[in-house]
Amino acid sequence: MDDFEARLAAAYAAWHESLGRRPDRFYALYADNIELHSILEASVLDAEMRGPFVGKAAAIAYFAAIAEQWEMLSASTHRFVVRGDTYVWIGHAAWRNLKTLRVVEGPKVDIWTVQDGFATNFFELFDSYGTARALGLVDPPVDA
């Protein structure tokens, strides 16, 4: 395990242990010009959650918006995959939307691009339909 992977693993461990309330270890991994992207950044998320988020200040604002709108119920790391300058975190997470009280739970994948020991790009993938349901944008299916 290289240094960045070890620091990234520690950041995820602290994030999970704090149930999404302590992102500070992630901040230490960011290059000044970090770009954060989300699978939903241009579609269903409200203005505060739309990206991309460019620069450390914008990344901090993204985490603040998460804390205001979501409550982490659980999260776990399944594995890291590293190839060259790309680090992939594969895990599972459950979040409750604080407005609707609906829960989204499922697999999550984060893709990090690293240069000179710092993350320059981050792209997160998660259950977009489940998130839209949790936001109240899509009604849950009705049992027949």
According to the model, what pLDDT value does residue 112 have? 98
Q: What is the pLDDT of residues 79-126, one digit of tens each?
A: 999 999 999 999 999 999 999 999 999 999 999 999 999 999 999 999
CATH number at residue 50: 3.10.450.50
Asked if the model's pLDDT at residue 50 lies above 70, the reply is no
According to the model, what pLDDT value does residue 38 have? 85
108: closest CA among 55, 144, 67, 72?
72
Q: What is the pLDDT of residues 20-35, one digit of tens each?
A: 999 999 999 999 999 9
According to the model, what pLDDT value does residue 48 have? 53
Residue 111 inside a domain? The answer is yes
Residue 138 inside a domain? The answer is no
According to the model, what pLDDT value does residue 144 have? 56
DSSP characters for 17-59?
HTTS---HHHHTTEEEEEEEEETTTTTTS-GGG-S-EESHHHH
Residue listed under structure tokens 């739309």? 50
Residue 135 inside a domain? The answer is no
Q: What is the pLDDT of residues 56-71, one digit of tens each?
A: 998 888 888 888 999 9
Residue 86 inside a domain? The answer is yes
Asked if the model's pLDDT at residue 5 lies above 70, the reply is yes
Band (137; pLDDT cuts 50, 70, 90): confident
Range of the domain at 70: 3-91+107-124
According to the model, what pLDDT value does residue 39 have? 80
> Which residue did the predictor score with more confidence, 13 or 128?
13
For the whole model, what pTM was predicted? Answer: 0.88
**Which two tokens mark 7?**
């620091």
| Total structural domains within the chain | 1
Q: Where are the alpha helices (DSSP H) in the chain?
A: 3-17, 24-27, 56-69, 128-134
Residue 100 inside a domain? The answer is no
